Structure 1
Amino acid sequence: MTPGSNVPLSAPRVAVDVAAPVRLDVSGLLLTADGKVRSDDDFVFYNQPQGGPGVTHRSGGGSGPDAITVDTDAVPAGIEKIVVTASLDGGGAFGGTTPTATVRNADDGSVIASFAPAGLGPETALVVVEVYRRGGAWKVRAVGQGYANGLAGIATDFGVNVEEPAAPGRISLDKGRVNLRKNETVSLVKGGKPLLSSVRMALGWEPAYGGRDIDLDASVLVYGPQRNHLETCYFGRLTVLNGAIQHSGDNLTGDGSGDDESITVHLGGLPPEATGLVFTVNSYSGQKFNKVAKAYCRLLDGASGEELVRFDLTGGEAKTGVLMAKLVKQFSGEWEMTALGTFVNGRTAKSLVAPGSSAL
């Protein structure tokens, strides 16, 4: 496709992925006839993957491109178009980088169209393509419009209330220990170099005040580039991937201060196909997380024991599982940790595989 050209959609469900030699943040905005979103819920991006009806964000897991999927049959009648945007992960301009948007049939993966806006310079964000209605049919148009003020500028232009940058830059470990809140991300870079040695994810919890002991189980779910499940390390399988991931063993009560269970990951020893790790805790006995106090996870240097990152989960929900955090390998080879704190129903590690895949 060339800028301004359009192609009819040959499938009701399409996925638009945007790839580049560097990692991109890809977003989608659902726009009405006046070119604005109805509310902030119509902004679909990595921190809000399930936004407006019919439009979802799919992470590439660090080794593939992110994508926006549009189910045209589910898009509300008042939405005229969905614009797909891209910005460089961590900031910066597109000069010297040519992104490629590929529109695929979301069900069989066949290619419908592709577009590569060329000649980019100071632009820090792009409206790459738009999926739009015309005469009762759906089409895709190549756009390639650049913005100099990042994804926040695009979002504001289309009516999103941006109180802080919509795609904040990642922080690193160079200034010492990092305390994360839900959905915040830290790049595992220390001294300007990616952390590729062993790390230990320690998880802890206590029974709620006046409550009885609660048996929770910590696990790590391992995924490939397409969010495909590869392995699960838990109390019933203490070592996986030829020893690259090791579990400390089961704690049956959560009693006592300090860590209850921990999982050591030898980042440099992981096979290339292992690009996403999701750390979970589930209640095998069926007790709900609103009966748990002081749930947390912390990432430590496997060699020195130094605490690098900490995430304290305040307030539990009446569900039996929680996705605590994820580690995702980037195109550059470095790893990023994101605090999740997402409660789901699942009493076993196996039951958390699907929610874990969706979180990548």
Structure 2
Amino acid sequence: MTQGGNAPLTAARVTVEVTAPKALDVSGLLLTDAGKVRSDADFVFFNAPHGPGVTHRPASGGTPDAITIDTSAVPAGITKIVVTASPDEAGATFAGIEPTATVRDADSGQVLVTFTPPQLGRETALIVVEVYQRGGAWKVRAVGQGYADGLAGIATDFGVSVEDEPAPAAATAAPVTAPAAPPVTAPPVAAPVAPPLPQSTPPMPPAPPAAPAAAPSLTKVTLDKGRVSLTKGGSVSLEKNGKPFLSSVRMGLGWEPAGRGRNIDLDASCIAFDAKREKLDTAWFMKLGIFNGAVVHSGDNLTGEGGGDDESITVHLDGLPPEVCGLVFVVNSFSGQKFTEVKNAYCRLLDAGSNQELVRFDLTQSESHTGVVMCKLVRQYSGEWVMTAIGEYVDAKTARAMVKPAASML
């Protein structure tokens, strides 16, 4: 199978094996039509190997980690099972170890389909395939979507609660707590990287030490409590009370000349990417609208003078084509001055309808480069959008030159 392709299942019970040059942890999540688990009990992995109609088989004696799905036993209301994988080694990525999923008839062992995703990079977890119900029949789809924040990113994306708890000595696993079941320990999870645009899908920090320490917070940040201030690498979901909160947002970007009023021509742009980190289009001062007005640029500010945002880009999320998976917001110095000659650079996300500021990211330091990747909006597999603060400086004076560094940070 190729990425995005699907095929009918010719067996009621199937086993999805996932193999790679390195050991993997394979998991399964049972999802409703809303794209969420009903409870943490719908998350099946090595420490919670049995779910309704779905079981985990650990690697043993040459057989790989696998998820077995009995479609006849899957509960009513569950319309999709996603099969995920992450490297067993804490902090490892999929770069150079692209996994292969083999879907077999669980009773006869016959191979039904196989799938190997395209080349991967910073991903520390991957949705490999999904088994889903359509029109009363069960099918399998090749997905190959990566996450840079590990299995925790996938789990929280689908509604599994990942709680802060002290990590036991000599362990790096972050516990996952099921509401109606004893606490379970999730597979090792890499901490999120500094956003490459990313997941940076962003770049990620080193794995937590094995010594006893409080595990880093993996709780998803949302807009439930109002305005959010992000630090570099921080992320916030554009959800409120578990539901999409916004249909149209405006990204405002601002800056001031650092040296006695000297004019500096900075340009803000929004670069749209697909699931393979290929550029789809760019909204910038020479092309103010893309995707039939789903993304609109306010126009060029040549000096940074004046109060409020210097340039803004409005995004109608509901109007974006389905192939748009990531939007990266960048600022470059068209006139060639370094960002050390700029002060008070920031980006902020506003509700385009009410002009209410929702998320703000202030750059706390400048570097001697001509471009900066400010932040990204990434569409998660579940459909929700997540904003991540990046703040990575690069040498690029035009929007075109910003494409490659922006793609590397997804």
Shift of 1:85: 6.8
Shift of 1:227: 1.2
Equivalent residue for 2:160? 92
Equivalent residue for 2:339? 289
Equivalent residue for 1:3? 59
Shift of 1:236: 0.4
Letter in 1 for 2:339: F
Letter in 2 for 1:228: E
Ranked by relative contact order (alpha carbons within 8 Å, sequence separation 6 or more), the top structure is: 1
Given candidates 165, 187, 198, the residue that maps to 1:126 is 187
Contact map agreement 1:23 1:330 (CA 8 A) in 2: no
Letter in 2 for 1:310: R
CA distance in 2 between counterparts of 1:199 and 1:291 reads: 29
Given candidates 66, 73, 77, the residue that maps to 2:146 is 66
Contact map agreement 1:223 1:357 (CA 8 A) in 2: yes
Q: How does 1:315-334 map to 2 (within 5 A)?
A: 315-334=365-384
Is 1:57 the counterpart of 2:130? The answer is no
Q: Note the alpha carbon deviations across 1:191-239, whole angstroms, 9 max, x for none.
A: 4311341100000000114351110000001001111110100000000
CA distance in 2 between counterparts of 1:25 and 1:327 reads: 24
Secondary structure, aligned partner of 1:356: helix
Secondary structure, aligned partner of 1:86: helix
Given candidates 289, 307, 313, the residue that maps to 1:257 is 307
Letter in 1 for 2:295: I
Q: How does 1:1-360 map to 2 (within 5 A)?
A: 3-6=59-62, 21=81, 26=86, 29=89, 43-44=91-92, 57-58=122-123, 64-66=144-146, 86-87=151-152, 88-90=154-156, 92=160, 123-126=184-187, 155-157=208-210, 164-165=215-216, 168-210=218-260, 212-360=262-410
Letter in 2 for 1:339: A
Shift of 1:170: 2.0
CA distance in 2 between counterparts of 1:170 and 1:205 reads: 30
Contact map agreement 1:282 1:322 (CA 8 A) in 2: yes
**How much identity, in percent, do the aligned residues show?**
49
Q: Structure 1 residues 23 and 281, CA, compared in 2 at 3 Å: closer, same or farther?
A: farther
CA distance in 2 between counterparts of 1:295 and 1:45 reads: 32
Contact map agreement 1:202 1:297 (CA 8 A) in 2: yes
CA distance in 2 between counterparts of 1:23 and 1:309 reads: 33
Q: Which runs of 5+ in 2 are unaligned?
A: 1-16, 18-57, 64-79, 96-119, 128-142, 163-181, 190-206
| Matched length | 262
Segment drifting more, 258-267 vs 210-219: 210-219
Runs of 4+ off more than 6 Å: 22-25, 59-63
Contact map agreement 2:87 2:125 (CA 8 A) in 1: no
Shift of 1:344: 0.7
